[in-house]
């Protein structure tokens, strides 16, 4: 992929580790490891080069976050402010625009439950400070901002919030978040909050009165609504209540893999009908396939893409791999209970992979997904829509 400009900057290099913050042992070059080589012919290589050179590449969910090497360090690392961000890795990814939530769901500075207002604001502030000191990534706020990534060889970040649980019942916090630069927000995470039900709840009461207020305010301000982790009824209510198209930034199809984390056809079709898109997720234990439940590879992930494409049409699919740098499965284990992850992955019998082959980190995920589509003879116009054209069509109308 196109290598974006990178001048060697490391997170917090304006501070002294050990003196100003505690540093943790991080994975080194192994965090960029290539777990699956997709070989292209000369002609295919030319198509790949054209796509990366001219077409906007949008990841609806990925992270610059680096997981510490030692699994025992994960919780203490997330309980302090200075988690490291991989500018070099994002530069290598070839992504032009990434929806980035700065791992706010596991920002547990003052609480062990995550998505707390003070913790998330502190996390955003420290990250924005770090970002202000470098020139590889920049924070995008308007549609025009997004267009500059390709031209200036930088990575545009669309600041996002995983779930609106941090609002509690304060509607004006939506404005505060918008003022701080947030342009996309999930309505619930896996558990219920004051807006509606998450996808692990046994009873889904739908969008609450407060939830409706938030949807309306997000529409007014120009913030993307994300229903990736919402329960089915809550998702349908949100799609109906929203004036603008709604996104499922990172999920998959329940018909391909039957788990609460995947979306039923009814929700997928409603999302598309409203003009929205569904980004295919590649986080471990999510987009598996009942055809081969003991392997989580690029093949099973892309089976979701093919299913979605046939169900909702080429104009309503995108890519939201949800990768980061370091051991994703170890991070899931560390936060399993807090985030109801196991429950969200369902009760089917399958072997937990130690990583998703071909989609282990941002440096390989997006390029492998594009190569996979080229190998399957997707027309270049189709790839263009899936990798970013569809997302930009929606963002043009939502970001004011
Ligand atoms: Zn998520």
What distance in angstroms lies between residue 339's CA and the mean position of ligand 1's atoms? 10
What distance in angstroms lies between residue 163's CA and the mean position of ligand 1's atoms? 9
What distance in angstroms lies between residue 37's CA and the mean position of ligand 1's atoms? 27
What distance in angstroms lies between residue 158's CA and the mean position of ligand 1's atoms? 15
Residue 2 has a pLDDT of: 57
What distance in angstroms lies between residue 198's CA and the mean position of ligand 1's atoms? 11
What distance in angstroms lies between residue 19's CA and the mean position of ligand 1's atoms? 34
Q: Return left, alpha or beta for 221; rule: phi > 0 is left, psi -120 to 50 is alpha, else beta.
A: alpha
Angstrom distance (rounded) from CA 20 to CA 344: 38
What distance in angstroms lies between residue 251's CA and the mean position of ligand 1's atoms? 8
Residue 327 token pair: 């051991």
- Please state at what angle helix 265-273 crosses helix 232-241, rounded to 10 degrees: 10
97-100 and 137-139: which strand pairing? unpaired
What distance in angstroms lies between residue 162's CA and the mean position of ligand 1's atoms? 6
| SS3 state at 315 | helix
What distance in angstroms lies between residue 65's CA and the mean position of ligand 1's atoms? 14
What distance in angstroms lies between residue 226's CA and the mean position of ligand 1's atoms? 10
Residue 3 has a pLDDT of: 80
What distance in angstroms lies between residue 15's CA and the mean position of ligand 1's atoms? 31
Angstrom distance (rounded) from CA 105 to CA 189: 9
What distance in angstroms lies between residue 250's CA and the mean position of ligand 1's atoms? 7
pTM of model > 0.85: yes
What distance in angstroms lies between residue 105's CA and the mean position of ligand 1's atoms? 9
CA angle 287, 395, 397 (to 5 degrees): 135
What distance in angstroms lies between residue 44's CA and the mean position of ligand 1's atoms? 32
What distance in angstroms lies between residue 186's CA and the mean position of ligand 1's atoms? 9
What distance in angstroms lies between residue 261's CA and the mean position of ligand 1's atoms? 9
What distance in angstroms lies between residue 16's CA and the mean position of ligand 1's atoms? 33
What distance in angstroms lies between residue 145's CA and the mean position of ligand 1's atoms? 25
Angstrom distance (rounded) from CA 80 to CA 196: 30
What distance in angstroms lies between residue 228's CA and the mean position of ligand 1's atoms? 7
What distance in angstroms lies between residue 211's CA and the mean position of ligand 1's atoms? 19
What distance in angstroms lies between residue 178's CA and the mean position of ligand 1's atoms? 20
Bridge partner list, 319: 280
What distance in angstroms lies between residue 342's CA and the mean position of ligand 1's atoms? 13
Residue 187 token pair: 């309505």
Residue 42 has a pLDDT of: 97
What distance in angstroms lies between residue 61's CA and the mean position of ligand 1's atoms? 8
- Could you read off the pLDDT tens digit of each residue along the chain, which spans 400 residues? 558 999 999 999 999 999 999 999 999 999 999 999 999 999 999 999 999 999 999 999 999 999 999 999 999 999 999 999 999 999 999 999 999 999 999 999 999 999 999 999 999 999 999 999 999 999 999 999 999 999 999 999 999 999 999 999 999 999 999 999 999 999 999 999 999 999 999 999 999 999 999 999 999 999 999 999 999 999 999 999 999 999 999 999 999 999 999 999 999 999 999 999 999 999 999 999 999 988 999 999 999 999 999 999 999 999 999 999 999 999 999 999 899 998 999 878 787 788 999 999 999 999 999 999 999 999 999 999 999 999 999 999 999 7
What is the tally of helices (H) and strands (E) in the chain? 15, 9
What distance in angstroms lies between residue 49's CA and the mean position of ligand 1's atoms? 30
Residue 276 token pair: 């929205």
Residue 353 has a pLDDT of: 83
Residue 1 has a pLDDT of: 55
What distance in angstroms lies between residue 101's CA and the mean position of ligand 1's atoms? 9
What distance in angstroms lies between residue 46's CA and the mean position of ligand 1's atoms? 34
CB contact set of 122 (below 8 Å; sequence gap of 6+): 81, 107, 109
Q: Write down all domains in the chain, each with its CATH number in brackets.
A: 38-398 (3.20.20.140)
Q: What sections of the chain are H helices per DSSP?
A: 42-54, 74-78, 87-93, 117-132, 143-152, 172-179, 209-221, 232-241, 265-273, 298-312, 328-334, 341-344, 362-375, 380-384, 390-398
What distance in angstroms lies between residue 123's CA and the mean position of ligand 1's atoms? 17
């Amino acid at each position: 992929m196109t290598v974006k400009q990178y001048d060697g900057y490391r997170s917090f290099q304006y501070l002294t580790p050990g003196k100003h913050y505690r540093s943790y042992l991080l994975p080194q070059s192994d965090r960029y490891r290539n777990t699956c080589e997709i070989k292209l012919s000369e002609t295919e290589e030319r198509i790949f080069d054209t796509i990366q050179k001219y077409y906007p590449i949008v990841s609806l969910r990925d992270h610059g976050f680096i997981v510490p090497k030692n699994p025992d360090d994960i919780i203490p690392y997330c309980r302090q402010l200075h988690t490291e961000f991989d500018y070099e890795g994002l530069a290598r990814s070839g992504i032009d625009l990434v929806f980035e939530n700065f791992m706010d769901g596991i920002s547990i500075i003052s609480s062990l439950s995550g998505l707390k207002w003070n913790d998330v604001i502190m996390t955003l502030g420290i990250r924005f400070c770090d970002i202000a000191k470098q020139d590889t990534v920049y924070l995008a706020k308007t549609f025009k901002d997004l267009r500059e990534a390709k031209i200036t060889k930088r990575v545009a970040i669309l600041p996002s919030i995983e779930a609106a649980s941090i609002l509690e019942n304060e509607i004006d916090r939506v404005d505060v978040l918008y003022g701080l630069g947030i342009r996309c927000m999930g309505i619930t995470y896996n558990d219920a909050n004051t807006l509606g039900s998450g996808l692990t709840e046994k009873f889904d009461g739908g969008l609450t009165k407060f939830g409706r207020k938030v949807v309306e305010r997000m529409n007014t301000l120009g913030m993307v609504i994300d229903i990736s982790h919402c329960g089915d009824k809550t998702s349908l209510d949100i799609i109906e209540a929203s004036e603008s198209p709604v996104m499922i930034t990172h999920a998959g199809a329940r018909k391909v893999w039957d788990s609460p984390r995947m979306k039923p056809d009814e929700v997928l079709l409603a999302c598309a009908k409203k003009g929205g898109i569904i980004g295919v997720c590649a986080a471990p234990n999510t987009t598996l396939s009942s055809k081969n439940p003991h392997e989580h590879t690029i093949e099973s992930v892309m089976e979701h893409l093919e299913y979605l494409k046939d169900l909702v049409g080429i104009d309503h699919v995108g890519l939201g791999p949800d990768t980061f740098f370091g051991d994703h499965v170890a991070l899931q284990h560390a936060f399993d209970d807090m985030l109801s992850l196991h429950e969200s992955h369902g009760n089917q019998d399958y072997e937990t992979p130690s990583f998703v082959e071909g989609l282990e980190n941002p440096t390989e995920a997006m390029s492998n997904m594009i190569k996979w589509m080229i190998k399957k003879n997707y027309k270049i116009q189709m790839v263009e829509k899936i990798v970013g054209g569809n997302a930009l069509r929606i963002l043009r109308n939502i970001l004011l």
